[in-house]
Amino acid sequence: MLNLGLTYDLKDDYLASGLSPEAAAEFDSPETVEGVEAAIRAQGFRVDRIGNLKALVRRLAAGDRWDFVFNFAEGLRGLGRESQVPCLLEAYDIPFSFSDPLTLALSLHKGMAKRVVRDSGLATADFTVVESPGDIAGVDLPYPLFAKPVAEGTGKGVSPASRVPSPRALAAVCRDLLERHRQPVLVETYLPGREFTVGIVGTGAEAEVVGCMEILYGAGAEGEVYSYLNKAEYESRISYAPGRDGNSRRAADLALAAYRALGCRDGGRVDIREDGEGRANFIELNSLPGLNPSHSDLPILARFFGVPYPELIRRILFSGLRREGLVPAP
């Protein structure tokens, strides 16, 4: 029987250390850890909860090892934070789920990800990256624009102010984001059309779309942006609908192509938005998607398409196990 470890960042640990709720928004609840563990145990594997990076360092130093680690640790600081646990596991020759350190760092940096997607011949809005206040005056893109931190998730740093109509508004938003998030700002052409998120499971040629979900903004939404507040209070502000029309299929095709271009493994989620003429454009890719059974986007859209949570986790897990030769191909 294989011995599987779990690496994750528990939100309660960081809140107890003084981190703000917004800063800890990407981290996991006990419900998520319990859900992932139960789904893996149901497949007949032993499961050992490891925890975050520091816990992993202690366990490795004590001589502990695992046949495979189901990793969904987000990391705390830096543009390469999602790569920290995978880098350490690679150094100890321990295989793990989801993408490798290169892809995790690449996809977290929205500007670098868009460069690879664009160079692969796939549609993405024109953009630039503002590294410092001195770069703002050099932005040469038609308004309106959209600005957000270059390496955040869960809608952090996104609000109605992210849609900027003028150079003055851009300067104000960029200065605020640079100061608050201490990282570059992605500035791109605003896309006014329909918005989708696409779930994908598998690796390379075996990767496949689990489902495509449209994001709909209700009367209580904080503008038509997938903001931190809209995500945090999604039940009262936004709604989701399974995407089954031609536009949804085009969004799913683009998402799968971007997933493969960025070298993703085992599972992920891709955000797509249409331009003013209804053409799908790549927004960003989450190569370490949220796995909360109740309110993370990937499990929600999977349920829309008949894939219950335990089956979703099983597919992600076995993609990694087969990739590493730990279980036979079906």
Q: Are 52 and 8 in contact (CB under 8 A)?
A: yes
CATH number, domain 126-189, options 3.40.50.620, 3.50.30.30, 3.40.50.300, 3.30.1490.20: 3.30.1490.20
Helix (H) or strand (E) holding 201: strand 195-201
State how far the Cα of 166 lies from the Cα of 170, in Å rounded to an integer.
6
Q: Are 313 and 36 in contact (CB under 8 A)?
A: yes
187, 296, 323: which is closest to 240 by C-alpha?
Answer: 296
For residue 273, the model assigns a pLDDT of 97
Is 3-97 CATH 3.40.50.20? yes
pLDDT, one tens digit per residue, over 204-231 is 999 999 999 999 988 777 777 777 777 7
Domain boundaries defined on the chain: 3-97, 126-189, 195-323
For the packed helices 84-91 and 53-61, what is the interaxial angle rounded to 10 degrees? 10
For residue 246, the model assigns a pLDDT of 97
State how far the Cα of 63 lies from the Cα of 182, in Å rounded to an integer.
37
For residue 172, the model assigns a pLDDT of 97
Binned at pLDDT 50, 70 and 90, residue 156 comes out as: confident
The whole model's pTM is what? 0.94
Q: What is the mean pLDDT of the chain?
A: 94
For residue 15, the model assigns a pLDDT of 86
Q: For residue 267, how many other CB atoms are within 10 A of its CB? A: 30
For residue 194, the model assigns a pLDDT of 96
For residue 20, the model assigns a pLDDT of 80
Q: Are 22 and 88 in contact (CB under 8 A)?
A: no
pLDDT over 80 at 234, yes or no: no
State how far the Cα of 193 lies from the Cα of 225, in Å rounded to an integer.
11
First-to-final CA distance of the chain: 18
Quick one: tokens of 236?
């009262």
Give the list of residues 6+ apart from residue 19 with CB closer than 8 angstroms, or none.
none
Q: Is the peptide bond before 144 cis (omega within 30 degrees of 0)?
A: yes
Q: Among all chains, which residue has been given the structure tokens 């489902």?
A: 211
Helix (H) or strand (E) holding 129: strand 127-130
pLDDT, one tens digit per residue, over 135-149 is 999 999 999 999 999
pLDDT, one tens digit per residue, over 159-175 is 899 999 999 999 999 99
Q: Are 17 and 79 in contact (CB under 8 A)?
A: no
Q: Are 302 and 288 in contact (CB under 8 A)?
A: no
Higher pLDDT, 158 or 315: 315
Q: What percent of the chain has pLDDT over 90?
A: 84
State how far the Cα of 28 lies from the Cα of 202, in Å rounded to an integer.
23
61-75 mean pLDDT: 97
Binned at pLDDT 50, 70 and 90, residue 176 comes out as: very high
For residue 84, the model assigns a pLDDT of 97
Higher pLDDT, 323 or 19: 323
Torsion, Cα of 244, 246, 252, 258 (10° steps): -170
Q: For residue 153, how many other CB atoms are within 10 A of its CB? A: 20
State how far the Cα of 327 lies from the Cα of 260, in Å rounded to an integer.
23
Ranking 24-28, 75-79, 100-104, 241-245 by mean pLDDT, the lowest is 24-28
Is 195-323 CATH 3.30.470.20? yes
